Amino acid sequence: MITFVGAICLLIVGYYVYSKVVERIFGIDDDRETPAYTKEDGMDYMPMSWWKGSLIQLLNIAGLGPIFGAVLGALYGPVAFIWIVIGSIFAGAVHDYFSGMMSLRHNGEQYPSLVGRYLGKGAKGTINIISIVLMILVAAAFTAGPAQLMAQVTPLSFTMCLVVIFAYFVLAAVLPVNKIIGRIYPIFGVILILMAVSIGIGLFFMDNPVPNLTMANLHPDNLPLWPLLMITVSCGAISGFHSTQSPIIARTMKKESDGKKVFYGAMIAEGVIALIWAAAGMTFFGNTGGLQGALAAGGPSGVVNEISSSLLGTFGGVLAIIGVIILPITTGDTSLRSSRMMLADLFVKKENKGNGGKGKTLLLTAVVATPTFLLTQIDYTFLWRYVGFTNQLVATVMLWTAAMYLVKKQKFHWICSLPALFMTMTVSTYLFLAPEGFELPYNVSMMFGAGITALTAGWFGYQLWKARRSNPVTVEQVA
């Protein structure tokens, strides 16, 4: 229990201390007018209060990600706490802050456009495809589960539940951001927080205490801790999906100083939620073997339902049903909204964006909603494997984009480049190790991962050298 409480305290301290460092390096300017005012269009660009933006951002980036991922990560034991804390403070929150604030500085640009600005047109074209594929995979993965539960608790069939969910998706994606997302999502954000806090309090009254830190890998199947834990627990530590969601809120912010609360703060809150559910997973079933049995019997949603109902009674059961149905749906619809915005940036010329806007918005939404609907018909675990790798690949590219932004602005790049190097090694090794990758032996995968990381470090070193040649002022200076 001491480790669990200490981990939460570290996340809180990390927000109050390290977020100020990140903010100072970025260099905020509240006198700069934000896109919410300069490009206000009554659709995606409009001013919104910071507290509402924070709750929407938390719901958009979280959903069931920090719950399901943390429960699966709990199979490795208390060592998962270390990744959640360090990942959230030094990687995930930094990633989210820069993806949001860079979008804010560039008139609400989408993630692929930011990549193109700082990593080149080739990178932009590739990441556009990868990002839209990720959005479709996430929306599909977070739709099938809720539809199955809805079919169990209502008279509707699974297919009919899918139709209902997708009808809502289309509405949420095509209506102005303040109609559904701005009005309802803050309430759902409060539900997400209430659900986590209730479980967190319940942990102190369980028969078994939350285990304290051990560096041992307690996974029942003895799966390698690294890099699998970093792919399994993504939303609770660092997630590339967040960089696709941040521009939604960046287009509604009133001033730059709100970025620390909206972007960095939401990621730290997600880290706290992940810690709570990881602790619950490690403790409730006695050990990691018991957790694995529960996962095999009912999957992550079954585990969440059993923990909630047992710890909180009827109230917990209601929260679990709301969570398993509503929270993933709210992730799915913002996924489609983001992919619709990306397609608009790709295929709709700037001078024509205001002409026939509603028709084009509906058409672009249909383009991404159709494959999403089709993917809901295939196995959930198959989808989720590819979501994990694609998600962390997108996060890695965003960190390198932020590092290049700091290099070009002659600011301290290490806050982004060091976690970018770590994630490069993680994603590269996983690609060669995983069944959905090349499925090579562990040591061989490590060697290939190290080789790709070394090449990437060499590329970045060359960019630093070019920056120094063009400007004699050191690029490591802090703004």
Distance CA 282, CA 288 (A): 6
For the chain, the domain total comes to: 1
Distance CA 433, CA 68 (A): 22
Is 27 part of a structural domain of the chain?
A: yes
Is 33 part of a structural domain of the chain?
A: yes
Distance CA 298, CA 303 (A): 6
237-241, 367-371, 377-381: range with lowest mean pLDDT: 377-381
Whether pLDDT at 34 is above 90: yes
Tell me which residue range forms the domain holding 163.
2-395
Q: Which of 40-44, 106-110, 451-455 has the highest mean pLDDT?
A: 451-455
Strands of 265-399 (E only): list them: none
Phi and psi angles of residue 169, each rounded to the nearest 5 degrees, phi first? -55, -50
Residue 167 belongs to domain with CATH number:
1.20.1740.10
Of 188 and 28, the structure prediction assigns the larger pLDDT to 28
pLDDT at residue number 96: 97
Whether pLDDT at 156 is above 50: yes
30-39, 147-156, 264-273: range with lowest mean pLDDT: 147-156
Whether pLDDT at 380 is above 60: no
400-418: b or e for each residue (b if 16 or more CB lie within 10 Å)? Answer: bbbbbbbbbebbbbebbbe
Whether pLDDT at 287 is above 50: yes
Whether pLDDT at 377 is above 70: no
Distance CA 442, CA 457 (A): 22
Q: What are 382-411's pLDDT values in tens digits?
A: 666 677 888 899 999 999 999 999 999 999
pLDDT at residue number 161: 84
Mean pLDDT of 203-232: 88
Mean pLDDT of 367-371: 73
CB 158, CB 147: distance < 8 Å: yes
pLDDT at residue number 472: 62
Nearest to 87 by CA among 324, 419, 409: 419
Is 450 part of a structural domain of the chain?
A: no
pLDDT at residue number 355: 43
End-to-end Cα distance, the chain: 40
pLDDT at residue number 361: 65
Q: What are 403-412's pLDDT values in tens digits?
A: 999 999 999 9
Of 287 and 349, the structure prediction assigns the larger pLDDT to 287
Is 440 part of a structural domain of the chain?
A: no
Any idea of the CA torsion for 88, 92, 97, 99, to the nearest 10 degrees? -170
Whether pLDDT at 148 is above 80: no
pLDDT at residue number 350: 52
